[in-house]
């Protein structure tokens, strides 16, 4: 039995009980540019090799030596390892095919077959598996994002409720008490009671403004994206101590509202991550037009991170911020790229179609 090669070509495990046929299939598969694993003629051994080598696809004969046949082996491999299986068979009996269908195979190759038939079935099976894997990953990400968004929504509602109760509620209670005192004692009320009420009202107004700004800055709606990003960057820099540089494409036209909102939230999340984790001294934000695209970048000179590990956390739903940024980019018909290296900072890049107010999607 041959050991698996060390190159990066797609790996195919061949399970065939006829030695000559197995050798011929292996030669054909190798000529197509795939790595050949095996071959083996035993169903039990096929399961073990699939678990050890994790091939990209298993080419499985239905009739095998040993205690289990190819259908049983295929079912175990699919359920345990999630590896796609294509059946090889000389039997087209309805009962065998019906039983084989229960294992959800990615194709059938009826013996005898041509090299073209084999090549087509393998290519389609691998493509289908990759598409299903992407769909499964996307579905899991959306489920995780939906779950975390609901959690974040409840946390935000709780925060707003506490702000209203503890800050604004106390101010209004103080005003009420002062008005009751003034009504009760009339001319005997303290001389500065009126001024105190004015001060409390001014404080309450400031609390309302702060709360509204935290939810959505009016600057974004009134003045546009560039002033809002500049304001937010300066606020983050003053709190966190890093230097910020902001450059933007000067234009007389406002971008579409959904683009402005998405850009603002993506930069907000990027700056939050920089503040929490990067230990950066400089941050550069750039908003520009590239042909028909808008390009927004947020770069820092901080500690960086492992992008592969970050993507795994995001795929598992452990990073709501990254999933949220990616989802916003997708809804704009754009892409989000996050590049970083440990010790060399990071860059977040959003690219989407440049669209101004009033333009149709």
> What's the pLDDT tens digit per position in 210-242?
777 666 777 888 888 999 999 989 989 998 899
Question: What does the pLDDT average to over 197-220?
Answer: 78
Q: Is the pTM higher than 0.85?
A: no
The answer to whether 338 and 270 are in contact (CB under 8 A) is: no
Does the pLDDT value for residue 10 go beyond 70? Answer: yes
Identify the pLDDT of residue 188.
66
Domain ranges, ordered by start, for the chain: 11-113, 138-214, 216-353
Domain formed by 216-353, architecture: 2-Layer Sandwich (3.30)
* pLDDT greater at residue 69 or residue 299: 299
Residue 348: phi, psi to the nearest 5?
A: -105, 125
Residue 87 corresponds to which tokens in the numbers above?
């059946």
Identify the pLDDT of residue 281.
94
In this chain, the answer to whether the domains covering 11-113 and 216-353 adopt an identical fold is: no
CB proximity list for 318: less than 8 A, separation 6 or greater? 144
Q: What is the separation, in whole angstroms, between the first and last Cα of the chain?
A: 58
Question: What does the pLDDT average to over 327-335?
Answer: 89
Model pLDDT for residues 140-153, shown as the tens digit of each residue: 777 776 766 667 66
Cα–Cα distance, 90 to 5 (Å, whole number): 29
CA dist list (Å): 103 to 84, 87, 135, 314, 333: 10, 10, 20, 31, 37
Cα–Cα distance, 78 to 105 (Å, whole number): 9
Identify the pLDDT of residue 130.
84
Top-level class of domain 11-113: alpha beta
Cα–Cα distance, 317 to 148 (Å, whole number): 8
Sheet holding 108-110, edge to edge: 35-40, 11-15, 57-61, 85-89, 108-110
Model pLDDT for residues 12-48, shown as the tens digit of each residue: 999 998 888 899 999 999 999 999 998 998 999 999 9
């Amino acid at each position: 039995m041959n050991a698996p090669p060390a190159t990066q070509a797609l790996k195919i495990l061949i399970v065939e009980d006829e030695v000559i046929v197995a050798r011929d299939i292996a030669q054909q598969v190798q000529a197509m540019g795939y790595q050949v694993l095996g071959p083996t003629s035993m169903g039990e051994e096929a399961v073990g090799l699939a678990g050890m080598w994790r091939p990209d696809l298993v080419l499985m004969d239905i009739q095998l030596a040993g205690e289990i046949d190819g259908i049983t082996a295929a079912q175990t491999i699919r359920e345990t390892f999630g590896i796609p299986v294509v059946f090889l068979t000389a039997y087209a009996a309805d009962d065998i095919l019906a039983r084989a269908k229960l294992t959800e195979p990615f194709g059938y190759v009826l013996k005898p077959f041509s090299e073209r038939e084999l090549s087509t079935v393998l290519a389609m099976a691998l493509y289908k598996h990759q598409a299903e894997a992407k769909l499964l990953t996307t579905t899991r990400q959306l489920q995780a994002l939906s779950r975390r968004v609901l959690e974040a929504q409840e946390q935000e509602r709780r925060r707003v409720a506490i702000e209203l109760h503890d800050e604004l509620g106390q101010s209004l209670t103080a005003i009420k008490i002062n008005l009751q005192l003034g009504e009760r004692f009339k001319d005997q009320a303290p001389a500065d009671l009126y001024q105190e009420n004015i001060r409390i009202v001014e404080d309450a107004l400031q609390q309302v403004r702060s709360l509204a700004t935290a939810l959505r800055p009016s600057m974004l709606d009134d003045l546009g994206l560039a002033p809002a990003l500049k304001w937010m960057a300066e606020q983050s820099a003053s709190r966190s101590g890093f230097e910020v540089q902001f450059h933007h494409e000067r234009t007389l036209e406002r971008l579409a509202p959904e683009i402005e909102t998405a850009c603002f939230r993506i930069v907000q999340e990027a700056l939050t991550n920089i503040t929490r984790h990067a230990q950066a001294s400089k941050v550069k934000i750039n908003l520009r037009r590239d042909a028909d695209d808008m390009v927004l970048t947020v770069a820092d000179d901080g500690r960086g991170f492992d992008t592969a590990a970050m993507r795994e956390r995001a795929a598992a739903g452990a990073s709501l911020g990254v999933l949220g940024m990616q989802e916003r980019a997708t809804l704009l018909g754009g892409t989000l790229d996050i590049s970083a290296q440990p010790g060399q900072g990071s860059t977040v890049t959003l690219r989407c179609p440049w669209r101004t107010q009033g333009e149709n999607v």
